[in-house]
Amino acid sequence: MKIDYSEFFKQLKDSPLEPWIELLPERIAHGLRHERHGLLSEWEKILEQLPNLESSSTELKTDVRVKGETDPHLEAMLKRFHPWRKGPYHIHGVNIDTEWRSDWKWDRVRPHLQPLEGRTVLDVGCGNGYHCWRMAGEGAKLVVGIDPSPMFVCQFFAMKHFIQTPRAWVLPLGIEDVPDTPAVFDTVFSMGVLYHRKSPLEHIERLKSLLRPDGELVIETLVVDGSAGDTLTPNGRYAKMRNVWFIPTVQTLEYWMHRCGLTNIRTVDINTTSTDEQRSTDWMTFDSLPTFLDPADPSKTIEGHPAPKRAVVIATA
């Protein structure tokens, strides 16, 4: 398996995204230049060494699972892509127990979506593409995930080697690298991204610009308790994260989306992140949520902020 987008470009031909065929190769090459990560060359070699295993079944709707022939070296090879943050994956007898139980988040989001059957979907900040596979499992025609991390792109292609579904892709791009194109996406997801943006309203407007009329926007993000207009702006880190800029109340987030011209805005889920949903594992051995919280008061982060609470807000363009 190599990082190869030729099949993706074939899918774009004669579609509204056909202009991407000329625009993306240079941007993809820039996102995968070796100086971006010292281990990229090693990961590319591992991708080429992955065994070709015969599969008996592939499941993407209820989880991400490929059954079939096993290989005694596969687990060690996949662990070379450490850390695995989004998942879990079950691949030819190897259970990739990722830091996040991303399937739990998907179970909270999926019941509230317009059906994804036949839709063209954009997943912004998709990590290694776990939710892209689940979106494909719901029948999406094409899922384009974007994430600037070369490591996550390599993890995606490792999974693609075994899943072999042509309807899901992860590109090494940030949202600022997405070409200006006609508003063609039926559904746009931004999950776990908004609080990392210095200008959250600009982010929402950019997401909206990529949606076709009546398309659906799904934002999942950190929120805090409080009134309309309230926003937490951490002075320094939040739960040990450096790049957290604004954490709004649900009412503030809904107002931001209204100001950006979205309609039919509704908050469909609010959930306090538990240490069962985000934690260290053998596949992600660094610190995780249990060490991000105040050991004397887990309702607060180690810095004294409210502990992570996340909301899902859905709107129409």
pLDDT in tens, the chain (317 residues): 899 999 999 999 999 999 999 999 999 999 999 988 899 999 999 999 999 999 999 999 999 999 999 999 999 999 999 999 999 999 999 999 999 999 999 999 999 999 999 999 999 999 999 999 999 999 999 999 999 999 999 999 999 999 989 999 999 999 999 998 778 999 999 999 999 999 999 999 999 999 999 999 999 999 999 999 999 999 999 999 999 999 999 999 999 999 999 999 999 999 999 999 999 999 999 999 999 999 999 999 999 999 999 999 999 99
How far apart (Å, rounded) are the C-alpha atoms in residues 175 and 191?
Answer: 13
Q: Which amino acid is at 63?
A: D
Q: How far apart are CA 311 and CA 219, in angstroms?
A: 8
Residue 48 covered by a domain: yes
The answer to the question of residue 221 being in a domain is yes
Q: What is the pLDDT of residues 36-56, one digit of tens each?
A: 889 999 999 999 999 999 999
For residue 177, which amino acid is it?
A: D
pTM over 0.75: yes
Answer whether residue 16 is part of any domain.
Answer: yes
> Domain holding 150: CATH number?
3.40.50.150
Give just the sign of the alpha carbon dihedral 81, 193, 8, 109.
positive
Q: What is the pLDDT of residue 228?
A: 95
Question: How far, in whole angstroms, is CA 189 from its chain's centroid?
Answer: 8
Q: How far apart are CA 263 and CA 315, in angstroms?
A: 6
Per-residue b or e along 96-135, where b marks 16 or more CB atoms closer than 10 Å to that residue's CB: bebbbbbbebbebbeeebeebeebbbbbbbbbbbbbbbbb
Instruction: Domain count for the chain, please give it.
Output: 1
Q: Is the dihedral of CA 305, 306, 309, 315 positive or negative?
A: negative
**C-alpha dist (Å) from residue 83 to 56, 89, 228, 237, 294:** 28, 14, 38, 21, 24
Are 110 and 88 a contacting pair, CB within 8 Å?
Answer: no
In a domain, 150, yes or no: yes
Answer yes or no: is 1 within a domain: no
Domain extent at residue 293: 6-316
